[in-house]
Chain A
């Protein structure tokens, strides 16, 4: 059974599936406020639609910045994102694939 997502959650999932992997990037891309994005990312992770892992320390040290937490869409998340795109057709227009 596919998970029913809210419009914000669907937008965030869509942004993640387009390759915007960090909380701040998702905020920038979707235009949603931080108070919506971060709790939604937690919920998506709790529901198994996204997973998160830390950027390797070597990479962040090489770039002279702290490591960031990556979010990645799971297969369940991908199918939920597809279902959400069908449910909210405007999503595709808000975050078109060629914007990446």
Chain B
């Protein structure tokens, strides 16, 4: 590794040594090689304008950070962790708005305490109704290897965050009415919270269905399969795949008596069918 810094001025070598830790390990050697070369050429090239390391410093820093953020994006895109983190962040953001609108923590408790207790009761009913009326159509053809507990835990956490978010948004949206029209405020907030809860929970069900049954990553690369004119002979619809190759989800465009539901095919089942 020290060979990489050979021939570089001490400041440049220190910059590279420090910033290399921002670069993901698999790409670090390549990144060091690129920048060692770029700095060397900067120092040894005759240009009309004098060039110093500061010319490249911004590029060096942003390049390292770009590689790091890309690695995070690749690792986190569509994962259950990212979904929960975004919902939690939104909750924090809307809670902060509520705090700013009311002025203090005590005022938040005073204004929204009763409404929140009422909402908890409503949330149970809304959840039960949404669960009972949700259009769940995907059938697991093969036994999923992910323990069902993890899937259910993710769903419970997601639903809890969605309900919190629905309450916080309704509180923020209706807060300006609180002082002038307390009764209208209560009714409106309840209605807004209910509508948002139902919408959010329905999204939660849909999101759960379009995730890999093994790793809970959002399925991607939707592709149209079949033709609508062949509907009586074979299924047509959309196919989505897990980016980790765990399986695929076939969603028929049209419900038929022989193809009523979507099908989750894990890799083994899919391979077996193909053979």
Contact yes or no, A65 B47, CB < 8 A: no
- Give residues 31-45 of B contacting A (CB, 8 Å): 33-34, 36-38, 40-42, 44-45
Q: How far is the CA of A33 from the CA of B62 in the complex (A)?
A: 11
Q: How far is the CA of A68 from the CA of B41 in the complex (A)?
A: 9
Contact yes or no, B58 A22, CB < 8 A: no
**Which of these, A24, A42, A46, contacts B63 with CB under 8 Å?**
A42
Nearest to B59 among chain A residues (CB) is A34
| Chain B neighbourhood of A24, CB < 8 A | 38, 41-42, 45, 56
Interface size class of A (residues with CB under 8 A): 20 to 34
**Which of these, B41, B62, B70, contacts A65 with CB under 8 Å?**
B41
**Which of these, A28, A34, A39, contacts B66 with CB under 8 Å?**
A39
Given A28-B47, A66-B36, A69-B34: A38 in contact with B41 (beta carbons within 8 A)? no
Main secondary structure of the interface of A (DSSP, over half): helix
Main secondary structure of the interface of B (DSSP, over half): helix
- Min CB gap A44→B, angstroms: 12
- Min CB gap A41→B, angstroms: 9
- Taking the complex as formed, is B134 at the interface, i.e. its CB lies under 8 A from any CB of chain A? no
Nearest to B4 among chain A residues (CB) is A66
Contact yes or no, A66 B40, CB < 8 A: yes
- Taking the complex as formed, is B256 at the interface, i.e. its CB lies under 8 A from any CB of chain A? no
- Chain B contributes a number of interface residues (CB within 8 A of A) equal to 23
Contact yes or no, A33 B37, CB < 8 A: no
Binary CB contact string for chain A from 35 to 47 against chain B (1 if under 8 A, 0 otherwise): 1111100110010
**Which of these, B37, B47, B55, contacts A66 with CB under 8 Å?**
B37
Contact yes or no, A35 B61, CB < 8 A: yes
- Min CB gap A100→B, angstroms: 18
Contact yes or no, A42 B60, CB < 8 A: no
Contact yes or no, B40 A23, CB < 8 A: no
- Taking the complex as formed, is A67 at the interface, i.e. its CB lies under 8 A from any CB of chain B? yes
- Taking the complex as formed, is B67 at the interface, i.e. its CB lies under 8 A from any CB of chain A? yes
| Chain B neighbourhood of A35, CB < 8 A | 58-59, 61-62
- Min CB gap B61→A, angstroms: 7
- Give residues 104-160 of B contacting A (CB, 8 Å): none
22 contacts between A and B (CB under 8 A): A22-B38, A23-B34, A24-B38, A24-B41, A24-B42, A24-B56, A27-B59, A28-B47, A34-B57, A34-B62, A35-B62, A36-B59, A38-B59, A39-B59, A39-B66, A42-B66, A42-B67, A43-B66, A46-B70, A65-B40, A65-B44, A67-B33
A-binding residues in B (CB < 8 A): 33-34, 36-38, 40-42, 44-45, 47, 55-63, 66-67, 70
The 5 A-B residue pairs whose C-beta atoms are closest, nearest first, are A34-B59, A35-B58, A38-B59, A38-B63, A66-B37
